[in-house]
Amino acid sequence: MNNPRTDIPTPRPERKGKGEGHFRTRQILRIALPSIVSNITVPLLGLIDVAITGHLGSETYIGAIAVGGMLFNIIYWIFAFLRMGTSGMTSQALGRRDLSEVMRLLIRSVGIALLISLTLILIQYPVREVALDIISPSDDVASLSRTYFNICIYGAPASLTLFALNGWFIGMQNSRIPMVMAIVQNICNIITSLILVLVVGMKVEGVALGTVIAQYIGLATALVALYKVYLGRLHKYLPTGFIRSFSPTHKSIWNKADLLRFFNVNRDIFFRTCCLVAVHFVFISAGARQGNIELAVNTLLMQLFTLYSYIMDGFAAAGEAIAGKAIGNRNRIIYDDVVKHLFLLGTLMVVLFTTLYALFAYPFFTLLTNDAEVIRVAHDYYLWTLLFPVCGMAAFIWDGIYIGATATRQMLISMSFGVGVFFILYTLIIPLLGNHGLWIAFLTYLATRGIVQTMLRNKIVDWK
């Protein structure tokens, strides 16, 4: 049984025979379902923001949220290694039962997150202006995007610290705490944004301020859970107290060798994330250059992709935790079984989401905006949404497994191939097909990542 106070799984024998498949599926769902619940609140929050701004009377507000939100997606994606690297290394350390390293990883990740976030606040002006110059939105959208950015940047310490904490929780095979934290944070975000916009009378600034308030409420929730569930038992694995361990003179945590290993593992994740950011940055920028209507339409369609991606990220989280732990204790039987069951569940999600998007994509657009022209143009593009699930499934599942294995070099290779294909198609077919060509390039990029990851699957773990 799991220890109720630390949630550190004790070794249990492998199930064999008739019930083995059901056991593995339950094991995956035990981690995946809470992750899905917490992940799904993120696109739902985005939908609420789009819905709020979509009813303010102008597509400019939708565009401002798209551009401003994209700027922070880029910033936070760049530092996604704080979650992914922490998750993989923590799950492997747990598999080895090295609880001292588990705690050192927690301190190391949170400390680096705080340092990065404070640096971002100091350099916020050049970051904002360079990004807006590259995107080149209309003057009205740019002005509102600056308002959004100037407020949301002060949520960076909370957001990046939550990246580190969530990665650590997942590595500890615990997706319940991130679920509770996400639900609390996003409910608070929705409520505060609605109050600030509909009651107080604020517009884009109300959405931004609601986001920052909720980020710190989410951080407070995560810290309370960390203290109550883990620190009571695990603080003894640190040579000094929890707070004192953040001191830069603490050699057992901040020594050069461990920091080099931390950044070596995360270096490829960083560059891989930069490639991902480049694709999304160019995607949004290309839509913005085609006009406010196309930018608004792409924002609506991207909400559907985001919804699917966060569902699949729940299964990826299960891959990170279970596959990483199996690799840590050198159990190839569990590893192979988890991979098989993750892809079976992923195939089920492809069928489910393709059906849902075929039936409900158009009503979904009318829910998000009452702008007749945006709805009309969105209907011309909705068929691309039917390809989101099949093109993206393998990439999402393999991402989780690769992270658990800390196979960061192979992740970077697969992403590089995908990005190369995207920019080749972007250059060749967008001049001919316009926004349709943009979607073809994006979907091909997703499919390429999954194909290359599948080809490299035997190289991610050395079982010798």
Contacts for 385 with CB less than 8 Å, ≥ 6 apart: 301, 304, 305, 357, 361
What type of residue sits at position 464?
A: K
Higher per-residue confidence, 189 vs 450:
450
Is-above-0.85 flag for pTM? Answer: no
CB 275 within 8 A of CB 420: no
Residue 12 has pLDDT above 50, yes or no: no
d(CA 404, CA 401): 5
The rounded distance, in Å, linking the Cα atoms of 180 and 38 is 7
18 vs 324, residue with greater confidence: 324
pLDDT category, 310, cuts 50, 70, 90? Answer: confident
What letter would DSSP give residue 229?
A: I
Give the mean pLDDT of the chain: 83
pLDDT-based confidence at 305, cuts 50/70/90?
confident
Task: Work out the widest C-alpha separation in the chain, in whole angstroms.
Answer: 65
Residue written as tokens 């490639």? 275
Helices (H), 153-175: 156-171
Give pLDDT tens digits for 228-268. 988 878 878 876 766 666 666 566 677 777 777 777 778 88
Answer whether residue 87 shows pLDDT above 60. Answer: yes
Half-sphere exposure of 373 (CA within 13 A, CB side): 9
All structural domains of the chain with their residue ranges:
19-459
Q: What is the pLDDT of residue 293?
A: 78
In single-letter form, the type of residue at position 196 comes to: L
Answer with the residue of higher pLDDT: 126 or 462. Answer: 126
pLDDT surpasses 70 at 355: yes
CA-CA distance, 30 to 298, in Å (whole number)?
34
Structure tokens, 14? 């492998």
Percent residues over pLDDT 90 in the chain: 24
Residue 21 has a pLDDT of 56
Whether residue 414 has pLDDT greater than 70: yes
Q: How would DSSP label each residue in 191-220?
A: HHHHIIIIIS---HHHHHHHHHHHHHHHHH
Mean pLDDT over 438-447 rounds to 93
